[in-house]
Copies of this chain bind each other. A is one copy, B any other.
Amino acid sequence: MTQLPVTITDVRAAADRLRGAANRTPVVTSRTFNGLTGRQVFFKCENLQRAGAFKFRGAYNRLAQLSAAEKQRGVVAFSSGNHAQGVALAAQLLGIPTTIVMPDDAPPVKLAATRGYGATVVLNNRQTTSREQIARQLADERGLTLVPPFDDAQIIAGQGTAALELLEEIPDLDALVVPVGGGGLISGCAIAAKGVRAKIAVYGVEPEGADDARQSLATGTIVHIAPPATIADGVRTQAIGTLTFAIMRELLSEIVLVSDAEILDAVRFVLTRMKLVVEPTGAVPIAAVMVNRIPRKLKRVGVIVSGGNIGAELLGAIMR
């Protein structure tokens, strides 16, 4: 096996750093879901994580390791979604000044939440400028540390703590099913899961039309796709990273796809039957298990429910 850029030791060290800062989220089960799918499924509820998604784990692990000087100068990140809030909250807890570059058409509630964690929000017009470019410029000009959303060893190690906790609680899983955007979550989780249970099978799930990771693993090179139109806004990334690609091609069994309709069915099932609010991205792996995209012989299945930050409008629409 190739030497990977992140090891189980890194994930364990991240778990130590996160203790007391991150929620140890509950693992829930549903006999109805089990009956429906003919499996025993264990949902790791990162929708109940601080700031509503797993992103806080990686951000906190990254920021906690900055030098005193770096902490004093501050950090910058670009994101319209959960990464923004994860970084802002982690920085607030660690007393680090934060700037987040967000699109000027982001939902007001997300802007307010990010500011609520004490971050300075810089708005950009997505038609005319690149958020990433602005963030890099701010980093250069002001000496800020750029916190990347996924392609970073410390971010990856932090995200892996979700799977580490799940496996501590349910050690004898046959498979782990994880949504794939940039690949930070699944890379960390695969390292953690394989690190404590070598024979576990790890499956990634992407929405149809956002299958850049599947294409990349199939072709053996990182494939860039056009901006995908899926409802799962957390996995609309156009390309996975260099580190995450290296880890995913080594550790994943397969990447499977689900449709937006299947994703929404899963959101609705979890909301009405399991009484949990999950965002479409969090429902991506749930949908894959519901419609049996994972081999039937895998009976004990862990699912990383990545987040719960769904807009009120969409939730209302789903209920109608």
Contacts and interface: CB of A to CB of B under 8 A. Distances in A.
A257 interface: no
Interface in A288-320: 308, 312-313, 315-316, 319-320
A183 B152 CA distance: 54
Contact of A48 (B28, B312, B313, B315): B28
B319 A312 contact: yes
Copies held by the complex = 2
B52 A275 contact: yes
Contact of A275 (B31, B272, B276, B312): B276
Given A275-B277, A316-B319, 13 more contacts: A23-B29, A26-B26, A26-B28, A31-B50, A48-B274, A52-B275, A275-B276, A275-B308, A276-B276, A276-B277, A277-B277, A312-B319, A315-B315
A176 interface: no
A308 B48 CA distance: 16
Contact of A277 (B29, B31, B271): B271
A47 interface: yes
A205 to B, nearest CB: 20
Contacts of A23: 29
A242 B152 CA distance: 64
Nearest to A309: B275
Interface of A: 23, 26, 28-29, 31, 47-48, 50, 52, 271-272, 274-278, 308, 312-313, 315-316, 319-320
**In the A-B complex, the 4 residue pairs with the closest CB atoms:** A316-B319, A275-B308, A26-B26, A275-B277
Nearest to A26: B26
Nearest to A29: B23
A316 to B, nearest CB: 3
Contacts of A31: 50
Contacts of A274: 48
Contacts of A320: 312, 316
Given A28-B26, A48-B275, A278-B275, A319 B308 contact: no
A313 B318 CA distance: 11
Contacts of A26: 26, 28
9 contacts: A26-B26, A26-B28, A48-B276, A271-B277, A271-B315, A276-B277, A313-B319, A315-B319, A319-B319
Contacts of A308: 275
